Structure 1
């Protein structure tokens, strides 16, 4: 019994420690700093010609996407900067870059803190919620569709990462665009959701890059990354 008690205690410490680390990632800003409802237009009405046309685009993608495209969209459902590894090289991994990793955890948390309240205001239904013909290949979500959080955070990560490594700006931003587009490939967003996400990500990144608290952590993360990449 003592042995099992010790094991249980150890597991409890592991869970608590993991939760504490997850909670360490605090957003740099929230919707109180950037209110997207004051920046973006409202989404098209559900019965509008625009939404019907976009549903057509989603359905067209559904019958033309390849297994390879689907696999890429499924992998890109993960919201973290390590999805840029294919353009950053073999040294770009979490184990080698602890400060950089912690910094981008905060970037990801910032997206949710800014975007989620706006989604809750507009409550645009996802494509599969308007049409039973839409069959997403990625995890379903019932949160608002406008704007795309993935497109927002992908754009944010792309802008910030390319600012750290301008030598690879073209490749990084192309990867950010693919990350965003894969929400359409996955069947979980309309094209306009993705476009609004790109605008949102650009606005949030611009605000962050002009904040002293952000720049202090940015400088540390950038130095670690460039050293690891041999730059």
Structure 2
């Protein structure tokens, strides 16, 4: 039986959409990650080839996509659009509901830095496999629109497998759960939902998301060996705890 993509809780959807609408103008995010090129996970070695045409795995991807397409006029599809935007400062709000406190440059600079720099590392972890496999994105196969029509032209020539967004979202979920373990369940659930948004948006197959999340995990494990990352993680743990105390 194909797992149906769940609709978000109403409060979470409202929080996410409200944060997106209230976000200030975009600003450039740092383009330097924590990891040197040689320290990045080897996506080509870690990720198996995408499902072969006619395989059971490919049929699973197709069935999961059909369930996602049925959400087009539902709140879940509306949520997928802000989940697609990784530009800061908007992106800092994507996990705020699960984290329980806002993230900004003034009061949680280390947390913001973790998100910005780990984004670079997680995205880079998927590039080798994307370039090797060049899997077409689902909207090219099913002809249905995506949640980001303005990006469709550029996505046509961008490999679908594995998902860079899913790698980033899962690396973020693991990082924030390490900094705020008492919010771990909510953050991991949000990371899974963030990956599901790529299927709902009609820009990734389910297996793209799963392998992207695998590379997000591999990236996080590599990051734990980096002193600069560990220092920011410790600082984020302290500043997030302080924000929660002050909010009581």
**Would the TM-score normalized by the shorter structure come out above 0.5?**
yes
Q: In the aligned structure 2, how far is the partner of 1:130 from the partner of 1:48?
A: 16
CA RMSD of aligned residues (A): 2.3
State the secondary structure of the residue aligned to 2:245.
coil
- Deviation of 1:57 after TM superposition, in Å, equals 2.6
Distance 1:46 1:125, change over 3 A: farther
Tell which structure's C-alpha radius of gyration is larger. Answer: 1
CA distance in 1, matches of 2:111, 2:101: 16
Contact 1:25–1:102 (Cα < 8 Å) also in 2: no
Question: 1:94, 1:73 → 2: CA distance?
Answer: 25
State the distance in 2 between where 1:75 and 1:59 align. Answer: 22
Please state if 1:54 is matched with 2:69. Answer: no
Is 1:36–1:118's contact at 8 Å kept on the other side of the alignment? yes
For the pair 1:32 / 2:32, whether they are aligned, the reply is: no
Alignment CA distance shift 1:94-1:32 (3 Å): same
1:164 aligned residue: 179
In 1: Cα distance, 2:38 partner to 2:54 partner? 32
Note the C-alpha offset of 1:115.
Answer: 1.5
1:130-189 Cα distance to aligned partner (Å, 9 max, x none): 332x32223432311111111111110001100111111111111111111111111111
Change in 2 beyond 3 A, CA 1:130/1:173? same
Runs of 4+ in 1 over 6 A off after TM superposition: none
Once the two structures are superposed, the pairs formed by residues 71-82 of structure 1 within 5 Å of their partners are 71-79=78-86, 80-82=91-93
Q: Please give the residue correspondences for 1:22-171 in structure 2 after superposition, counting only pairs within 5 Å.
A: 22=29, 24-29=30-35, 32-33=38-39, 34-46=41-53, 48=55, 50-79=57-86, 80-132=91-143, 134-138=144-148, 139-140=151-152, 141-142=155-156, 143-171=158-186
Asked if structure 2 preserves the Cα contact closer than 8 Å seen for 1:85 and 1:93, the reply is: no
- Comparing 113-122 with 187-196, greater Cα deviation is found at 113-122
Instruction: Tell me the TM-score normalised to structure 1 length.
Output: 0.81
Unaligned stretches of 5+ residues in structure 2: 1-26
Unmatched 5+ stretches in structure 1: 1-17
Q: Which residue of 2 aligns with 1:221?
A: 236
Provide the aligned length of Structure 1 versus Structure 2.
Answer: 210
